[in-house]
């Protein structure tokens, strides 16, 4: 593969992990095979759902050096790139903050149903962060303004708790988008600090691994006052996963455009070594996504590296791309692909539309097949939205 060409396997693996996220998120009904869903917090092991999100975080990190270098090549200064990173991070945190509070809304106190409040949140998000293309600038400002006003009004009317003790929106956990935001920021700042230097990037990777270990051992309790905001960074696990992707992207940038055997050798060794390290740490920390243990993070990273290498070999080296084209739009429009299906969910629940009938089947194969069909349909739905000019871009 020649240097300067787009690495399609990055888009494909990002799209594949998104597809699987849509699939496992739709599986949360009783009776489905245990190996497809999340394991319990205290159980030493993992199912497919426990790998999918780390796989996406890994790809977030892999995309960082390509995206930042792309901005530098178009003339952005260091300061502009830094501002872009903080704005993008803040946007992800804000969207995640609103989505996380949907489940906390008290309809009686707020005067609006939970489904309608959620739908209006998503509409506001799409109005603000849609990529409008060549639409008249004044019209764009008006649409974005409506979105911002919408979020302000929805935040103002939000109430949770009881009439005796009402509460407003809370951060608590940051949700999936919040985790992506913190992880993206960590990896981007690491890249700006270390640039293409593998040794420096490796130091930051070890730093976040150490944070993860120390946090699990309860040795960072003196930082508890910072956890309501910076808990994701202090915990170390999410930055570890994203910086792992960044580190491997640097290996790809240094070796992947030369003799393929060199990259495959280095990648295989790296993947197996990280996988083995995860199982070694299992002696002290169980493999648990819910607890975000370092053993789980390393095992997932090893799987991510080996899977990406396989996709790189098949797609970018051998040129076998037809089978993967269905995942490409999702990889290139990841935020739209992830958020758009939620609007349909809330519409279905609000109007009791019997679309999700397969969830009530007594047969596992019917439930799983239905979720697979739903995931493919949602990938297609996001691709359709992109074609008609609805595409989120932070």
Write the DSSP string, 311-361.
HIIIIIIS---GGGGGGHHHHHSHHHHHHHHHHHHHHHHHHT-GGGGGGG-
| 237 inside domain | yes
Residue 174 token pair: 């940051």
What is the number of domains present in the chain? 1
Task: Tell me the three state secondary structure of residue 37.
Answer: coil
DSSP label of 105? -
**Half-sphere exposure of residue 48, counting CA atoms within 13 Å on the CB side?**
19
Tokens (6 digits) for 270: 């790296």
Alpha carbons within 13 A on the beta-carbon side of 386: 20
Q: Compute the distance between CA of residue 246 and CA of residue 305 in angstroms, rounded to an integer.
A: 11
**What is the reported pTM?**
0.92
Instruction: Give the three-state DSSP class for 167.
Output: strand
Q: What is the DSSP letter of 161?
A: E
On whether the CB atoms of residues 22 and 375 are closer than 8 A, the answer is: yes
Q: Is residue 278 part of a domain?
A: yes
Here the tokens at position 275 are: 């996988």
Residue 256's domain comprises: 8-101+170-387
CA-to-CA distance for 102 and 119, rounded, in angstroms?
Answer: 10
Query: Domain for residue 151, yes or no?
Result: no
In Å, how far are 101, 121, 141, 142 from 154, measured between CA atoms? 11, 7, 20, 18
3-state secondary structure of 165: coil
Whether 209 maps to a domain, the answer reads: yes
Instruction: Name residue, tokens 């977030």.
Output: 60
* Digitized pLDDT (tens) for each residue of the chain, 394 residues in all: 555 567 889 999 999 999 999 998 888 766 677 888 888 888 888 988 899 999 999 999 999 999 999 999 999 999 999 999 999 999 999 999 999 999 999 999 999 999 999 999 999 999 999 998 888 899 999 999 999 999 999 999 999 988 888 888 887 677 889 999 999 999 999 999 999 999 999 999 999 999 999 999 999 999 988 888 899 999 999 999 999 999 999 999 888 767 788 888 999 999 999 999 999 999 999 999 989 999 999 999 999 999 999 999 999 889 898 888 889 888 888 999 999 999 999 999 999 999 888 887 778 888 889 999 999 999 999 999 988 888 998 8
Between CA 151 and CA 160 the distance in angstroms is: 17
Determine contact, residues 159/106, Cβ cutoff 8 Å: yes
Find, among 100, 184, 125, 174, the residue nearest to 392 by Cα: 125
**What pLDDT is stored for residue 17 in this prediction?**
94
Assess if residue 219 is contained within a domain.
yes
Tokens 């040794």 belong to which residue?
A: 199
Asked, for residue 208, whether it belongs to a domain, the answer is yes
Inside any domain, residue 118:
no
DSSP state of 392: B
Give the per-residue pLDDT at 125. Answer: 96
- The per-residue pLDDT for 311 is 94
164 falls within a domain = no
Residue of 180, 171, 155 whose CA lies nearest to 91: 180
The total of other beta-carbon atoms located within 10 Å of residue 146's CB is 13
CA 219, CA 240: separation in Å to the nearest integer? 18
Task: Assign 3-class secondary structure to 233-282.
Answer: HHHCHHHHHHHHHHHHHHHHHHHCCCCHHHHHHHHHHHHHHHHHHHHHHC
């Amino acid at each position: 593969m020649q240097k300067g060409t787009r690495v399609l396997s990055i888009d494909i693996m990002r799209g594949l992990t998104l597809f699987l996220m849509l699939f496992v998120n739709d599986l949360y009904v009783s009776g489905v095979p245990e190996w497809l869903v999340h394991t319990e917090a205290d159980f030493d092991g993992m199912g497919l759902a426990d790998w999918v999100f780390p796989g996406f975080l890994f790809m977030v990190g892999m995309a960082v050096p390509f995206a930042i270098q792309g901005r530098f090549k178009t003339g952005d200064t260091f300061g502009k790139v830094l501002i872009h990173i903080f704005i993008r991070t803040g946007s992800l945190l804000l969207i995640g903050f609103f989505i996380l509070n949907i489940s906390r809304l008290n309809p009686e106190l707020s005067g609006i149903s939970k489904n309608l409040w959620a739908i209006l949140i998503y509409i506001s998000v799409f109005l603000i962060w849609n990529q409008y293309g060549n639409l008249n600038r004044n019209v764009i400002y008006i649409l974005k303004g409506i979105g911002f006003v919408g979020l302000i009004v929805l935040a103002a009317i939000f109430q949770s708790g009881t009439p005796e003790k009402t509460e407003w929106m809370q951060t608590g956990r940051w949700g999936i988008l919040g985790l992506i935001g913190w992880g993206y920021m960590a990896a981007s700042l690491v890249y700006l600090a270390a640039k293409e230097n593998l040794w420096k990037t490796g130091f930051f990777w070890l730093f976040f691994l150490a944070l993860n270990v120390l946090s699990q051992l309860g040795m960072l309790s003196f930082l508890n006052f910072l956890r309501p905001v910076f808990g994701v960074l202090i915990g170390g696990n999410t930055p570890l996963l994203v910086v792992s992707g960044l580190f491997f992207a640097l290996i790809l940038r240094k070796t992947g455009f030369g003799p393929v055997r060199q990259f495959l050798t280095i990648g295989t060794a790296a993947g197996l070594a990280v996988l083995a390290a995860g199982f070694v740490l299992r002696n002290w920390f169980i493999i648990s996504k819910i607890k975000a243990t370092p053993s789980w993070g390393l095992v997932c990273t090893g799987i991510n590296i080996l899977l990406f290498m396989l996709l790189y070999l098949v797609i970018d080296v051998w040129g076998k791309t037809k089978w993967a084209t269905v995942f490409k739009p999702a990889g290139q429009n990841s935020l739209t692909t992830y958020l758009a299906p939620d609007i349909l969910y809330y519409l279905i629940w609000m109007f009791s539309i019997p679309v999700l009938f397969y969830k009530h089947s007594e047969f596992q194969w019917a439930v799983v097949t239905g979720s697979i069909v739903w995931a493919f349909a949602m990938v297609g739905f996001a691709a359709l939205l992109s074609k008609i000019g609805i595409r989120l871009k932070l």
